[in-house]
Amino acid sequence: MLWINISGILLIALIVWWFWLYKPQEVEVTNNKMVIRIENGVYTPAHIKVKANQSTLLAFIRTDNSPCAATVLIPGLEISEEIALNKETVITLPPLTTGEYPFHCSMQMYRGVIKSE
């Protein structure tokens, strides 16, 4: 009985850490281009740091067969792009003002953030 209670508490702690406390590392764009892989239900990297007021290329490579992974939306920039399977699809970001720009799939299951500084 004690084992079940301890397991339950550990599982709750893991869920709290994963959904509310875990902060993925930001990856900074170099040479104005970042390659983002779409695989296993996630964008890698998912947290991208770009320079403000500078155009940036995001090259998406999708190896995930899920239909949800086929579209990338950046609502704050009014960008919606179909991503080909096993091919590079490049999205050109305009010069961004300082701020955060979430991006996601059509069902918002795959998520990421572009941070402009």
Q: Which domain CATH number covers 102?
A: 2.60.40.420
Q: Do 51 and 116 touch, CB atoms closer than 8 A?
A: yes
Q: Which two tokens stand for residue 86?
A: 């096993």
Q: Is the pLDDT of residue 86 over 70?
A: yes
- Looking at residue 24, its pLDDT comes to 67
Mean pLDDT (whole number) for 99-106: 94
pLDDT digits (tens, 9 = 90+) for 15-65: 887 777 766 677 888 888 999 999 988 899 999 999 999 999 999 999 999
Q: For residue 73, what are the domain limits?
A: 25-116
- Looking at residue 22, its pLDDT comes to 65
pTM to 2 decimals? 0.78
DSSP for 19-57, written as a single string: III--PPPEE-BTTEEEEEEETTEEES-EEEE-TTS-EE
Residue 6 in domain: no
Domain count within the chain: 1
Lookup result for tokens 């704050």: 76
Residue 3 in domain: no
Residue 9 in domain: no
- Looking at residue 116, its pLDDT comes to 93
Residue 51 in domain: yes
Residue 95 in domain: yes
Residue 96 in domain: yes
